[in-house]
Amino acid sequence: MNIKFIPSMPYENFVINILPKLSGVDVLVLAFGIVDEVIYEKEHQTQHGVLRELSLLSRNLECVVLAGIVTHLGNKKYRSIVVLDEGKILGIVDQIFVLSPFSAGKEISIFEHEKLGRFGVAVDDDVASSEVQKLFEKYAVDVVFNLHDKTTSKSETAYRVMSYNRF
């Protein structure tokens, strides 16, 4: 599995300097801070929203894209990871265990994929929760992708990929 992690940088730098060099990637992981925040109400009103751009990126690269984003729904703000595959949004995972000013998500998402098998996605320190680990174990995930928002997280790393055997 070819996984490419892109550290936080302005989206324009990613498009100009990194994107032209990407090929043969199975999973593209974009750190928090690359793409703009998503305001759902505005996202549905435009043809050129953040989620549309990520969808096109995933389709053009023919790969899974995981992108750390901040999302807004009404007056609530979430730290999230959008998961896309070949142009389709598979899901948006919100962090469950959060501190203000963010709102808490409600569930962990597990995905099935032809190449990756069954995989889980965890935002920031959710992966350290025993409840989350038990769910990943219960559903026999093959791999867990974990992104950290370096602006608010105490983690030393911006992302981790963990095999099921670590649980």
Rounded to whole angstroms, the Cα distance separating 160 from 91 reads 19
CATH superfamily name and code, 3-166: Carbon-nitrogen hydrolase (3.60.110.10)
Q: How many residues does the chain have?
A: 167
pLDDT 10s digits, 8-21: 999 999 999 999 99
Mean pLDDT of 25-42: 93
Record the tokens describing residue 148, joined without a space.
Answer: 């950290």
163 or 81: which carries more pLDDT confidence?
81
Rounded to whole angstroms, the Cα distance separating 137 from 11 reads 35
Give the pTM: 0.90
Predicted local distance difference test score (pLDDT) of residue 166:
43
